[in-house]
Amino acid sequence: MTITQAMVLAAGLGTRMRPITETTPKPLVKIGGKAMIDYALDTLKETGVTTVVVNVHHHADQMERHLASINGLEIIISDEREQLMDSGGGLARGLKRLDAAAPALVMNADLFWIGEPKGEPSNLTRLGKRFDPEMMDMAMLCVAESQTTGHNGKNDFSMAADGGLTRYRVGDPDPVVYAGALALMPGLLADAPEEAFNLNIYFDRAIAARRLFGERLQGHWLTVGTPDAIAPAEAKIALSRQES
């Protein structure tokens, strides 16, 4: 399934990245010479996405100026200046700006990956093809903890042979980490509350209905949550660029 619309979650406060985020929104912090959100936007554009909703809150004016400079994408701002809506509330509000009849990709602005195998379909392309709304609420990009830098070591889900996901418990087979990208139908959150809420509510609902599935990430996944995590991430990026 080719997906041409997306939302990027970019409204968080980035409290663990202080003091950097006292003056700069976390999605605009540069890693390897590139703003974190630009890794997500470039990946979406390369996959064939043409329309992207981005929610803004912290240093929203800076975010809007940066997004206005992006070429090749129609970017729609979902303004959360008055109230931060958390991951679920922000997504529910932003998805209303997209075509409810077509699937959408969702990415976090501060999670990205490098080193996808050349000559093979990209992670997002495979995720889009994996998503089947007849049998899934969401298809989620997942990664083995061994393929991560900056992660806290905690596994999120266990993946079955058919790709089905359940919450990870110690000792479960095939543990994986949620890589910050998923595919869904925008109408999935049509019944969402108006107030802020965490997206995990919908993850758990999908698990209970056996409608949460995973696609494995190829390459290396990076998360930069604190200032101390910048140097290891940049070292990994530099190594990847040397090898490419």
- pLDDT, tens digit (0-9, with 9 covering 90-100), for 201-224: 999 999 999 999 999 999 999 999
pLDDT tens-place string over residues 78-110: 999 988 888 888 999 999 999 999 999 999 998
Give the mean model confidence (pLDDT) for residues 69-84: 92
Q: Report the pLDDT value the prediction gives residue 1, as an integer from 0 to 100.
A: 64
Cα gap 239→244, rounded to integer Å: 9
Q: Report the pLDDT value the prediction gives residue 69, as an integer from 0 to 100.
A: 93
Residue with tokens 């390459």: 219
Reference 180, options 49, 87, 84; nearest CA is 87
Q: Report the pLDDT value the prediction gives residue 21, as an integer from 0 to 100.
A: 92
**Whole-number average pLDDT of the chain:** 92
pLDDT tens-place string over residues 109-141: 988 999 899 889 999 999 999 999 999 999 999
Q: Report the pLDDT value the prediction gives residue 244, as an integer from 0 to 100.
A: 61
| Chain Cα centroid distance, residue 96 | 18
Q: Report the pLDDT value the prediction gives residue 107, as an integer from 0 to 100.
A: 95
| pLDDT band at residue 18 using 50, 70 and 90 as cut-offs | very high
Which neighbouring-strand residues pair with 113? 221
Domains of the chain: 5-243 (3.90.550.10)
